[in-house]
């Protein structure tokens, strides 16, 4: 059931998916993954929805996975553990333009999902990182495919292997942010882009988008490959030590 951490609204042919968990910097729980997947999946066969916006509101996009929720997911309920993968599949199989409005920190899956979006707006306060390496893990969400294709191998190496963060200006220069705006203005600008897209011929947009994007089957194949390696890495000494260190910091 919806828990209020994901708010879905519709206006002028656009579905707006808002992460709303400000006390936790919009860290994403398993339930939130499920709600976002539902919002994306149910838009696919709805002709009234021409495009979507994903936003975290003012001041933050998302801190990525909620680590406590991730670690305490009930292993006896595999459907809970797969919600993140289902969300990634929803992004990979989505056929409608997605606009991202990033105002603040975008960490982990928050940055990865941007490479599945079609247009990204960021404020000057935005930062981007995918620090899986610090936890002894590997990239997810077809990041190892999409990031090098979008911004080149060297920049992808810096982010995914070295764990470096990017500013909004660096992200714009790297090609995965379309436009940089003032803080507090990303949603307004995203709605302008959405209206522009909604005025275009829907079938031509869908066909052109399909031609431009990596084929869904290639994305899902890489998602599965990364997921297998991610699962192996979770059992590694490096990952166990990193998660133990995280847990100890939480106790202090």
Tokens describing residue 160:
């995914």
Q: Tell which residue, 9, 30, 10, 11, has the closest CA to residue 21.
A: 30
Distance between CA 9 and CA 14 in Å, rounded? 8
Does any domain span residue 191?
Answer: no
DSSP reduced 3-state for 166: strand
pTM: 0.94
* Banded pLDDT at 77 (limits 50, 70, 90): low
Residue identified by tokens 């005025």 is 199
Does any domain span residue 175?
Answer: yes
Distance between CA 159 and CA 150 in Å, rounded? 13
Determine contact, residues 42/80, Cβ cutoff 8 Å. no
Does any domain span residue 241?
Answer: no
Q: What is the DSSP letter of 28?
A: B
What pLDDT, on a 0 to 100 scale, did the predictor assign at position 68? 83
What pLDDT, on a 0 to 100 scale, did the predictor assign at position 76? 46
Domains of the chain: total? 1
Distance between CA 20 and CA 168 in Å, rounded? 22
Tell me: the pLDDT tens digits for 126-179?
999 999 999 999 999 999 999 999 999 999 999 999 999 999 999 999 999 999
Does any domain span residue 13?
Answer: yes
* Banded pLDDT at 33 (limits 50, 70, 90): very high
Q: What is the DSSP letter of 22?
A: G
CATH number of the domain bearing residue 131: 3.90.226.10
Determine contact, residues 54/101, Cβ cutoff 8 Å. yes
Beta bridge partner(s), residue 52: 15, 98
Does any domain span residue 132?
Answer: yes
The mean per-residue pLDDT over the stretch 224-232 comes to: 95
Does any domain span residue 33?
Answer: yes
Tokens describing residue 152:
């080149």
The mean per-residue pLDDT over the stretch 50-74 comes to: 88
Does any domain span residue 206?
Answer: no
φ/ψ bin of 59: left (φ > 0), alpha (ψ from -120 to 50), beta (otherwise): left
Does any domain span residue 239?
Answer: no
CA distances from 96 to 90, 160, 198 (A): 11, 27, 11
DSSP 84-108: HHHHHHHHHH--S-EEEEE-SEEET
What pLDDT, on a 0 to 100 scale, did the predictor assign at position 242? 92
What pLDDT, on a 0 to 100 scale, did the predictor assign at position 2? 52
DSSP reduced 3-state for 210: helix
Find the domain containing 22 and state its range: 6-185
């Amino acid at each position: 059931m919806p828990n209020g951490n994901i708010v879905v609204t519709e206006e002028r042919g656009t579905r707006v998916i808002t992460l709303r968990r400000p006390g936790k910097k919009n860290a994403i729980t398993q339930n939130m993954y499920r709600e976002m997947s539902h919002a994306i999946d149910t838009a696919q066969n709805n002709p009234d929805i021409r495009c979507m916006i994903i936003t975290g509101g003012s001041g933050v996009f998302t801190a990525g996975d909620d680590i406590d929720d991730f670690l305490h997911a009930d292993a006896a309920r595999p459907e809970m553990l797969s919600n993140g993968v289902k969300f990634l599949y929803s992004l990979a199989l989505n056929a409608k333009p997605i606009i991202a409005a990033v105002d603040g920190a975008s960490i982990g899956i928050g940055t990865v999902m941007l490479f599945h979006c079609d247009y990204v707006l960021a404020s000057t306060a935005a930062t981007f990182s995918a620090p899986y390496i610090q936890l002894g893990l590997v990239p997810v969400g077809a990041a190892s495919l999409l990031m090098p294709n979008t911004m080149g191998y060297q920049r992808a190496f810096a982010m995914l292997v070295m764990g470096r963060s990017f500013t909004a200006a660096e992200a714009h220069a790297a090609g995965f942010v379309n436009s940089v705006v003032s803080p507090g203005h990303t949603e307004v600008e995203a709605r302008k882009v959405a209206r522009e897209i909604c005025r275009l011929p829907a079938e031509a947009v869908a066909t052109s988008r399909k031609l431009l994007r990596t084929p869904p089957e290639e994305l899902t194949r890489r998602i599965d490959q990364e997921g297998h390696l991610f699962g192996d890495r979770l059992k590694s000494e490096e990952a166990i030590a990193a998660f133990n260190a995280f847990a100890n910091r939480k106790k202090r």
